[in-house]
Chains A and B, each alone.
Chain A
Amino acid sequence: MGSQARILLVDDDPDFVEATKAILETKPFEVIVAYDGKEGLEKARRENPDVIILDVMMPPPDGYAVCSELKRDPRYKKIPILLLTAVMQALPHTLYTIEMGLRTEADDYIDKPVDPAELVRRVETLIAG
């Protein structure tokens, strides 16, 4: 990576944002944060980041809404989106995965809370892809 990758992190939980930001900053990433869907959309358009990490469960517009709005817009649809979902993979919760598949065009999703190393790996994959 020549220049620093810019990552937009959108989540309404400040503590989660702080922890996640700390994880991402162990790598040469520039992390931009937004604390709700509306702010997320604004910053996505203004900053045009390399990757968006987007929480699903937020007051409207929620992660799904933000995701589909960006994916509908030809200017931003290329930005990879990693959805943060609130379900762990302890069991294959097919109920949720089916729901997810139907509702989102996100590039990847990961369950909250996330393993630091796994998060970094997923983000790097999205930047490279």
Chain B
Amino acid sequence: MVSILVVDDEKIIRDGCVKILSKEGWAIQTASSGEEGLGLMKNGPFDLLLLDLKMPGLSGIDVLQQVKGLHPDLLVVVITGYATVESAVEAMKAGAYDFIPKPFTPDQLRIVVHRALEKKALQREAELLRREREKGLREIADEKSKIKTIIHSMADGVLVADHEGHVVLHNPAAVKMLKIRTSPVFGQPLEDCLESGCLVDLVSKIMQVSKEGSPAVSQEVLMGERALMAHIATVRNDEGEILGVVTVLRDISMLKAMDRMKSDFVAMVSHELRGPLASVEQQLSVVLAGIIGEINERQKEMLGRAKERTRALLTLINDLLDLSKIEAGFVVQQKEPTQITEVLEKVIELLRHEAELKNISLQLSFNEGLPQVMADRGNMEEVFINLVSNGIKYTSEGGSVKLWACIEGSYLCVEVSDNGIGISAEDLPRIFDKFYRVKNAQTRKITGTGLGLPIVKGIVEAHLGSIEVESQPGIGSKFRVYLPLELSGKEMI
């Protein structure tokens, strides 16, 4: 409830005020002197003080001054007995909000008090807003320092460059990993801060590529003996303009070392397995061919199946070896200018027989005048043989596998699509995992090791490219391989 204190030495004014203002539903207290009024104010907060200026003892001005000191928020309306403009002005200067000259009508009093209370409400609201704003600002400041603390305490390196390739943010981990020369280096071109040109090239490439809306890129970067995984993505504003590039770096040296040990192990085991298996199959072949004596149909059939099994095992081992070689960085990366369409033509030639057995048509189309890409020709053959041969395997008799090559942004894109059995949404994210094979009634009879696609992905990524897949069960699958085009110096930022 609104509470009002009336301080006046004239009883008639006090009583009048109580009478008039109580009707408004406000709580009124009165005091007959300045001293009494100040005493009451100590006990409780008031919303409004009606203060007579001319009183015996403590004058209204004295009270006003004390009130302003003790209760700065309290609104004061002065009652000027012998109305003079000077006393009213003096009171206003001393901090009164308004004044009402004696004598006053009840309406005049009500108007003045209402106005004062409205002002009070507005003040309160303004105060609330101010506090909220302050809180907001504090929160932003907190948020900023929170983010800074988070970024600085990350074990992963963070490096942000603006659209001109100048460093605008980094954390201690990035400084350590990248051996950033000086610190702080904000505002300096990236290439001046880094010893390894590799990352600079990558960031430049990403910026270039991203103008056409390409996704983020993950790439291994070697820094001396350490291997870093760099995840690079562009930062855009609401309009989609590039503001800069953020690079998150993770030290994967340990992982790489473990991976290498695993690959060495796989290679060793594979060699040890392959010899005996080759031997077993050789012996089966000899018996099956009737070289060491006639065998009957049942024996032939069973030995034939045994041979199929050893062959599947040998394929698995070969794929394992292939994969361990790729992981060991042993891929023969003899990158040379390669016309991908020639590779595709050769792949089709190699797989024509396999396709004809299932009456599947193989079609290749491309735009004339596609540029060459820097690639290892053998690797590229392996990639597309895997993809096309998968297309043939997972497409029913009479279907088709189509190859299409074109330019997409700063990438050469090769699409291998089929109208086969497709891949379900659950299986789709896992098809590039090692040993993952889609298992259902339709795929049961299809042999494979679950290593073809991981090998494909490994090769494509070793070429700074990427692979995407789209598929719908019953309709078909579409694999897209993106290989970066060589950018001339001018196009680089």
A interface residues (Cβ-Cβ under 8 A, vs B): 13, 15-16, 18-20, 22-23, 26, 57, 86-88, 90-95, 97-99, 112-117
Say which residue of B289, B315, B322, B325 sits within 8 Å of A23 (CB atoms): B289
A100 to chain B, nearest CB (A): 12
How big is the B interface, by class? 20 to 34
Task: Give complex CA distance A57, B270 in Å.
Answer: 13
- Quick one: which of B276, B286, B325, B385 contacts A91, CB cutoff 8 A? B385
Assembled-state Cα–Cα distance A25/B177 (Å): 65
Shortest C-beta distance, A112 to chain B (Å), equals: 4
CB neighbours (8 Å) of B271 from chain A are: 57, 86
Q: Could you tell me the dominant secondary structure of chain B's interface residues? A: helix
Q: Check if A19 sits within 8 Å of B285, measured CB to CB.
A: yes
Give the distance in Å from the alpha carbon of A90 to the alpha carbon of B311 in the complex: 10
Distance in Å: Cβ of B456 to nearest Cβ of chain A: 11
Residue B150, interface by CB 8 Å: no
| Distance in Å: Cβ of A61 to nearest Cβ of chain B | 17
Inter-chain CA distance A95–B286, complex, in Å, is 30
21 contacts between A and B (CB under 8 A): A13-B276, A13-B279, A15-B279, A16-B282, A18-B283, A19-B279, A19-B283, A19-B286, A22-B292, A23-B286, A57-B271, A57-B275, A86-B274, A86-B275, A87-B318, A92-B350, A92-B382, A94-B379, A95-B332, A98-B378, A113-B278
Q: Is the CB of B314 closer than 8 A to any CB of chain A?
A: yes
- Using Cβ atoms and an 8 Å threshold, which residues of chain A touch B386? 91
CB-CB contacts below 8 Å: B252-280 with A? 271, 274-276, 278-280
- Other-chain contact of A116, B289, B330, B331, B381 (Cβ < 8 Å): B289
Number of A-B contacts (CB under 8 A): 85
Other CB < 8 Å A-B pairs besides A92-B385, A94-B381, 7 of them?
A13-B275, A15-B280, A87-B318, A88-B311, A95-B330, A98-B378, A113-B282
Query: A90 — nearest CB in chain B belongs to which residue?
Result: B315
- Those 7 A-B pairs whose CB atoms lie nearest each other, nearest first: A94-B378, A113-B281, A19-B282, A112-B278, A16-B279, A113-B282, A19-B286
B291 at the interface (CB under 8 A from A): yes
Q: How far is the CA of A90 from the CA of B322 in the complex (A)?
A: 13
A16–B279 CA distance with the chains assembled, in angstroms = 5
Inter-chain contacts of A18 with B (CB < 8 A):
283
Tell me if B318 and A112 are in contact (CB < 8 A). Answer: no
Q: What are the residues of chain B within 8 A of A22 when measuring CB–CB?
A: 286, 291-292
